[in-house]
């Protein structure tokens, strides 16, 4: 047996690949994970920026309803590296703050008190939001994949204020796209899990360390339990062997042989490998997979990273309203830096198609002006350095009508499996979707699709009477 023989080769060490590997090695399967980069995490990664002299990343978060991702983190020993928040702050220009926070009331009333007090919404806005949420009181299964969120706004008579100060920020933050590009099936899933089903589903968890360090613990878990994780192993070739095994070739000339291969990659990288793989049979399967993947489109994401010489606010994070910036993360506070170390800030522009082609100054200068409208302390602080991270392929867009084209994890090519948030998971483009896809792929490998899947949170409180 060659040193490069495995039961399963997993291509990609993002959340999907590590989730699949973690379940398979625990089940006694010999697994090798191949990752082209020198670090793990996939699109949830961090790296040492050569100019800024900082380890940087684009902020990703967990939610209380992310059961498979939370289980993965628990197994990897990451519980102490997640900071959980039960309060969300919404800021308007000028600094007026509204908070949505958990109370002692049972679901679906757990946010009701703070929602009624929220100054960012008037009475008509609140009635419209309640009317919209009532549609999901018994679950979201009836939400149509053909209907866009924008169409749903009109059908449920949402007010301008409700859209601008509640729905649209939530949609952009969770689905990374604007309402006209998002399927109501997945927006409904988000609304139901975060605001109605249970009092813990909408809790916000933020990693307290850079993301590749965070998910590096997942790679260490895989290796601790007997798997192998190979970095700087860019896969360039897939081939069906004569003996029914798969041959996987890397750019540095190594070859791995496996009974099964899991492609745990974004759709465009999967498309490239499938287009170039050598098959002994199954050309019609290849054509079908390529046609399916051709229907997916990207949604971009931009992070603006700022370092100030002093702390500009005591908030850890906030939603920013009536601006192109959706989210503010005070990373120095989240990571536990002392106030004397200043403020390390990340501003997020989700679904940033308009900003993507802009130059650095076109993005940075308006962002700095906007930030000062929310945090007056910025005017007294000195900006030490700044950076802009553009993720042109950050996520796939859950456009209306796409759901029927999301492929399952088992393909009709024997021994070839797919993972990634874009595959059929019943979740949108999130790290939870990625974690679910990896576990579903692992289940398919061993013959029982949902064997390793952690179920969604059960309904709690009064919601148990409705579902």
Return the closest-CA partner of residue 128 out of 152, 95, 102. Answer: 152
How many separate helices (H) and strands (E) can be counted in the chain? 14, 19
Helix/strand/coil for 205: strand
Q: What is the pLDDT of residue 3?
A: 47
Separation of alpha carbons 328 and 349, rounded Å: 10
DSSP string, 124-193: HHHHHHHHHHHTTTT-STT--SSSBHHHHHHHTT--HHHIIIIIHHHHHHHHSS-GGGSBHHHHHHHHII
Q: Could you read off the pLDDT tens digit of each residue along the chain, which spans 467 residues? A: 344 889 999 999 999 999 999 999 999 999 999 999 999 999 999 999 999 999 999 999 999 999 999 999 999 999 999 999 999 999 999 989 999 999 989 999 999 999 999 999 999 999 999 999 999 988 887 788 999 999 999 999 999 999 999 999 999 999 999 999 999 999 999 999 999 999 999 999 999 999 999 999 999 999 999 999 999 999 999 999 988 899 999 999 999 999 999 999 999 999 999 999 999 999 999 999 999 999 999 999 999 999 999 999 999 999 999 999 999 999 999 999 998 899 999 999 999 999 999 999 999 999 999 999 999 999 999 999 999 999 999 999 999 999 999 999 999 999 999 999 999 999 999 999 999 999 999 999 999 999 999 999 999 999 999 87
Separation of alpha carbons 269 and 436, rounded Å: 19
Q: How is residue 199 written in tokens?
A: 């009092």
Q: What is the pLDDT of residue 100?
A: 96
Cβ pair 255, 247 in contact under 8 A: yes
Q: What is the pLDDT of residue 137?
A: 87
pTM of the entire predicted model = 0.95
């Amino acid at each position: 047996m060659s040193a490069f023989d495995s039961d399963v080769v997993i291509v990609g060490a993002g959340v999907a690949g590590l989730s699949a590997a973690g379940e398979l090695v625990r089940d006694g399967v010999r697994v090798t994970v191949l990752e082209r980069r020198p670090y793990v995490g996939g699109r949830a990664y961090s790296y040492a920026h050569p100019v800024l002299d900082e380890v940087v990343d684009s902020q990703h978060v967990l939610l209380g309803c992310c059961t498979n991702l939370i289980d993965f983190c628990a197994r990897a020993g990451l519980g102490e590296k997640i900071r959980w928040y039960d309060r969300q702050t919404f800021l308007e220009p000028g600094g007026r703050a509204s908070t949505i926070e958990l109370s002692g009331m049972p679901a679906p009333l757990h946010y009701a008190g703070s929602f009624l007090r929220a100054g960012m919404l008037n009475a008509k806005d609140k009635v419209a939001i309640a009317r919209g949420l009532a549609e999901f009181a018994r679950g979201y299964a009836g939400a149509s994949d053909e209907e866009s969120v924008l169409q749903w706004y009109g059908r449920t008579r949402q007010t301008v204020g409700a859209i601008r100060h509640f729905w649209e920020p939530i949609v952009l933050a969770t689905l990374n796209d604007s309402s006209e590009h998002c399927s109501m099936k997945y927006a409904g899933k988000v609304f139901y899990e975060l605001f109605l089903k249970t009092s813990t589903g909408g809790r916000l968890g933020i990693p307290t360390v850079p993301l590749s360090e965070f998910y590096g613990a997942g790679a260490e878990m895989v290796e601790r339990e007997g798997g192998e994780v190979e970095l700087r192993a860019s896969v360039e070739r897939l081939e069906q062997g004569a003996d029914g095994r798969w041959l996987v070739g890397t750019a540095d000339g190594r070859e791995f042989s496996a009974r099964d291969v899991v492609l745990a990659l974004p759709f465009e990288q999967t498309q490239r490998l499938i287009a170039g793989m050598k098959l002994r049979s199954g050309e019609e399967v290849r054509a079908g997979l390529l046609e399916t993947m051709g229907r997916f489109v990207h949604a971009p994401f931009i992070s603006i990273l700022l370092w100030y010489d002093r702390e500009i606010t005591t908030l850890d994070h906030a939603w920013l309203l009536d601006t192109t910036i959706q989210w503010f993360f005070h990373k120095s506070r989240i990571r536990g830096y002392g106030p004397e170390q200043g403020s390390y800030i990340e501003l997020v522009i989700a679904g940033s198609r308009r900003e993507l082609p802009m130059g650095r100054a076109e993005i940075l200068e308006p962002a700095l002006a906007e930030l000062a409208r929310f945090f007056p302390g910025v005017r007294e602080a000195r900006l030490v350095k700044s950076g802009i991270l553009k993720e042109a392929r950050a996520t796939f867009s859950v456009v209306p009508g796409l759901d029927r084209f999301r492929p399952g994890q088992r393909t009709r090519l024997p021994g070839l499996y797919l993972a990634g948030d874009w595959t059929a998971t019943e979740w949108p483009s999130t790290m939870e979707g990625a974690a679910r896809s990896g576990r579903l792929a692992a289940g398919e490998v061993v013959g029982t699709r949902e064997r390793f899947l952690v179920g969604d949170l059960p309904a709690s409180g009064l919601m148990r009477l409705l579902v």
